[in-house]
Amino acid sequence: MTFLLDSNVISELWKPRPSEAVLEWFFQATWLLPVPVIAEIQAGAEATTSAARRQIINQRLDQFLGNHSSTILDWDAETSRTWARLSHSKEVRRQPQALWDSLIDAMAVRHGCTVATRNTADFRHAETFDPWSFDAA
């Protein structure tokens, strides 16, 4: 099974004391980093009023991307079409999705991946998994 990382998984990895469950899962799982997550993290960095915080986020993101460049999953034409179809689904009409989540959701559906996230309810179509609940035993 291949997972797509949500931004909250990456944020957890950057904490001074990240969740042991998330760490253990992260180093055992097969995962990809969807480009909307990169944009979401960058947008967060740009939105902060603290120049020091912006620099820290950019440094962490640069390092993560440098260490894991082969895991980046790009957006493509078929994913665009999948996103457009899903954005008009009854699930989304019933409960609208945030833009970043809708993009990640479409990428997961398109590539047959499971979204790794703490916020499982944010995804209307893709399978989800909460790494905070991981138990290797």
Residue-wise pLDDT tens for the chain (137 aa)?
Answer: 999 999 999 999 999 999 999 999 999 999 999 999 999 999 999 999 999 999 999 999 999 999 999 999 999 999 999 999 999 999 988 988 999 999 999 999 999 999 999 999 999 999 999 999 998 66
Helices (H) and strands (E) in the chain, counts: 7, 5
Q: How does DSSP classify residue 134?
A: -
Residue ranges per structural domain of the chain: 2-133
- pTM, two decimal places: 0.94
What is the structure's pLDDT at 5? 98
CATH topology of domain 2-133: Rossmann fold (3.40.50)
Cα(10)–Cα(22) distance, integer angstroms: 10
CA 134 from centroid of its chain's CA atoms: 17
